[in-house]
Amino acid sequence: MSLVYLNGEYLPIEQARISVLDRGFTFADGVYEIIPVFNGKILRPDEHLIRLANSLSSIAINNPCTSKEWRQIFSNLLADRTDDRNYSIYIQVTRGTGERNHIYDNELVPTVLVMCNPVNERDYSHGVTAITHEDIRWKYCHIKAITLLPGVLLKKLAKDTDGSFEAILIREGLVTEGASSNVFMVSEGQIKTPAKDGSILAGITRDLLVNLLQDNVPCCTEQKITEQELRQADEIWITSSTIGVVPVIMLDGMQVGSGKPGEIWKLANSIYESYKREL
């Protein structure tokens, strides 16, 4: 049976218990991180741990572990997974357990959960469909907070609308990101992705792809994307640690470009996949 890490102990998941007064349960007062593991190798652990540290400091929770301690927990959990499947490491840190009061006690001890789950190996290379929706989330989207209700409702709406995989979000006429992904678009051979201005999560896959495309023609620019530009795009891609770089072939029921994964996506995806292979 696979183990999870909870507050210093390694336990079968059925035995892992927290209090109903944990502020993660009562207030969604916490942050999380998801780190992919391909062929037994953790992809970009430092970048994920830096983002976790940033999320924690943004909500005034002391980082409960050093980088070395986090890595030790990951390798202990991975040692328990001996097959050759791909995994994602899920980390959740909440402010801890205390009286249900908006005002928290500074002395609370954070609750730390780390688990390792197999990745859904769906083949996305034929593309997915998406809807657009107003970005109904709060304004601190750079924090990877566990407060995910808007994302949950948006993904369900996308699925119920036309079986779509993602909801691409628009705030004041500008594209922010997907409900659980970052967004890229291609127009007249130019690749663009929204800049990291606090209205999006600084996706590790997004940043990696921007870097990998740096020395490429065309390279990727980080700039505003209007809703109109998105609707007229030749290609749209979404990215995240668990899905990689995925082409969107239909948006709100309309074909994107040719309605097939584009040539520039093929190039970008092959660069990303070969980076992963060479890890």
Ligand X SMILES: Cc1ncc(COP(=O)(O)O)c(C=O)c1O
Q: Which residues are catalytic?
A: 144
* CA 249, 48, 146, 200 torsion-angle sign: negative
Across 195-223, b (16+ Cβ under 10 Å) vs e yields ebeebbbbbbbbbbbbebbeeeeeebeee
By CB under 6 A, what part of segment 6-25 binds ligand X?
Answer: none
Per CB under 6 A, the list member of 201, 225, 250, 268 interacting with ligand X is 201
In the chain, the amino acid numbered 41 is K
Per CB under 6 A, the list member of 154, 205, 213, 246 interacting with ligand X is 205
**With respect to ligand X, which residue has the nearer C-beta, 94 or 180?**
180
In the chain, the amino acid numbered 255 is Q
Q: Which among 13-21, 55-63, 154-162, 199-207 is the span making contact with ligand X, rule CB under 6 A?
A: 199-207
E strand or H helix at 97: none
Q: How far apart are CA 109 and CA 106, in angstroms?
A: 9
Write down the least CB distance from residue 12 to ligand X, Å. Answer: 26
Contact 199, 139 (CB under 8 A): yes
Which two structure tokens, joined as six digits, stand for 96?
């801890």
Per CB under 6 A, the list member of 206, 246, 248, 249 interacting with ligand X is 206
State yes or no: residue 98 binds ligand X (CB under 6 A): no
Q: How far apart are CA 161 and CA 177, in angstroms?
A: 19
Helix axes 263-277, 204-213, angle to 10 degrees: 110
Per CB under 6 A, the list member of 97, 111, 182, 193 interacting with ligand X is 182
Q: How far apart are CA 180 and CA 241, in angstroms?
A: 10
By CB under 6 A, what part of segment 24-83 binds ligand X?
Answer: 34
Write down the least CB distance from residue 106 to ligand X, Å. Answer: 29
Binding mask 140-159 for ligand X (x = CB under 6 A): --------------------
**With respect to ligand X, which residue has the nearer C-beta, 23 or 206?**
206
Residue 154 neighbours by CB distance under 10 Å: 24
Binding mask 225-254 for ligand X (x = CB under 6 A): --------------xxx-------------
Write down the least CB distance from residue 185 to ligand X, Å. Answer: 15
Question: Is the link from the previous residue into 218 a cis peptide, with omega within 30 of 0?
Answer: yes
State yes or no: residue 88 binds ligand X (CB under 6 A): no
Write down the least CB distance from residue 50 to ligand X, Å. Answer: 11
Write down the least CB distance from residue 108 to ligand X, Å. Answer: 26
Binding site for ligand X (CB under 6 A): 34, 177, 180-182, 201, 203-206, 239-241
